[in-house]
Amino acid sequence: MSQSFDVVVIGGGPGGYEAAIRAAQLGFKVACIEKRVHKGKPSLGGTCLNVGCIPSKALLDSTHRFHEAAHSLAVHGITVGDVTLDVKVMQARKDTVVGNLTGGIAQLFKGNGVTWLQGTGKLLAGRKVEFTALDGLVETINATHVILASGSVPVNIPVAQLVDDVIVDSTGALEFQAVPKRLGVIGAGVIGLELGSVWSRLGAEVVVLEAVDAFLPACDKAVAKEAQKILSKQGLDIRLGARVTGAEVKDRQVTVKFTDKDGEHSEVFDRLIVAVGRRPFTEGLFSPDSGISLDERRFVHVDNQCRTSVPGVYAIGDLVRGPMLAHKAMEEGMMVAEVIGGHHAQVNYDTIIGVIYTHPEIAWVGKTEEQAKSEGIDVKTGQFAFAVNGRALAANDAQGFVKFVADAKSDRLLGMHVIGPNAGDIVHQGMISLEFGASVEDLQLMTFAHPTLSEVVHEAALSVDGRAIHAIQRKKK
């Protein structure tokens, strides 16, 4: 007899597992189908926990600590001998962090009564789901509601096909067991810059090849310019307008050919990371007669509450429009579960935060100055540097700034952009302000604790109207 569930979630990544847990909390009988086997064991958490957000941040943190110990402690009066790093120990720590978190999701499933079906799921016509277990057994499951949450996979390019552990994608770049002498990175986006930073801190000579002429084009231009300057000074050789035309592996080295405004070039690397983006994973996810439709970019077509063209079927996360971010997927998963439960819920897509976990971090929420102007909005901006912030100077971590973009007529906050220490945390002050429709004046009238990094937020808000105290301000007209 076929199993039946109120809600079947296909995909156990951040969006999928949160949707499953919330649906169970609302009293539904829930199953979550997840096929991933990580390091020999079935694993929940999707790309993010297993081979994405969490392991990369573990490596970023370890390598930042190493770099700080090797190069930055003397200014504090701390003297150390020769600093070394055991890459295998670092990797083992990363794997432990991943294991603890993915195991925690399994416990949450158990505690909330979610059935974890280990294998693959395929949506059939009539909201039936074909489940193929890891051992090959196949059964058809009846579902009242189905949530598609299969995530995304790295984009591969024909001119640089993956080769063993020499030419790798983002997953392979997390598993290097030694520091490459020369590392090439194709793509100067979030993933490329983070992974390039990891291995650069450990001594690799890193060359980043980016086909686009602009650096971080989605960011506010002032932030992008500052980020390029800082990261270049740290040793990342960022080459814009460099279009890769081929890559050949010979004797465990890879020769990369590329063109730029000066013509054709080639570079030889010990390792090459392909980080040119991700695409939605829809292979085998639904049958042709399921009724699911895709848009022109091969994303599953959904409305603002993630309903697909099939009643009772939803799609969330990297499968659908919008930024491919774990927190966006999580909120969509929660929203869909609430909608299924008959509650009112909506994700505010205008306040989705973006973060790049380099050092310093880069974070943003809302509109950039350029975007607002392109929409015909009369804007006013304010900017304040960490360089004169007492807490940042005391920590010897004072690069970057906070920038606000506001509507010049209404004073309403439109966007917040940060490059600096703890930017990924600080930017949430802007997100909350946007959610509540705050004006710049609202932030100006608040009291910020001293000494804290967040005082830069206050000063940046004051700067919008030429009122910052700890910097000489040009008079605003």
Give the N- to C-terminal CA distance of the chain in Å, as an integer.
Answer: 75
Q: Which residue reads 């001119």 in tokens?
A: 159
Contact between 34 and 116 under an 8 Å Cβ cutoff? The reply is yes
Angle between helix 190-201 and helix 53-71 axes, rounded to 10 deg: 40
- Rounded to a whole number of angstroms, the CA Rg of the chain reads 24
Determine contact, residues 100/45, Cβ cutoff 8 Å. Answer: no
CB 232 within 8 Å of CB 216? no
- Structure tokens given for 401: 């700034």
Of the residues 71, 76, 343, 450, which is catalytic?
450
Backbone angles phi, psi at 238, to 5 degrees: -95, 120
- β-partners of residue 402 are 384, 418
Number of H helices, E strands in the chain: 14, 23
Structure tokens at 184: 């090439």
Give the helix ranges, DSSP H, for 268-365.
326-340
Active-site annotation holds for 327: no
Closest by CA to 420, choosing from 455, 463, 381, is 455
Concatenating the DSSP letter of every residue in 113-181 gives T-EEEEEEEEEEGGGEEEEEETTS-EEEEEEEEEEE---EEEPP-GGG--BTTTEE-HHHHT--SS--S
Q: Starting at the edge strand that comes first in sequence, how are the strands of the sheet with 167-168 ordered?
A: 167-168, 271-274, 182-186, 205-210, 237-240
Using CA atoms, how far apart are residues 200 and 205, in angstroms rounded to an integer? Answer: 6
Name the 3-class secondary structure at 56.
helix
Retrieve residue 349's tokens.
């897509």
CB atoms within 10 A of CB 80: 9
Q: 3-class DSSP state for residue 273?
A: strand
Question: How remote is the C-alpha of 45 from its chain's centroid?
Answer: 14
Active site residues: 450
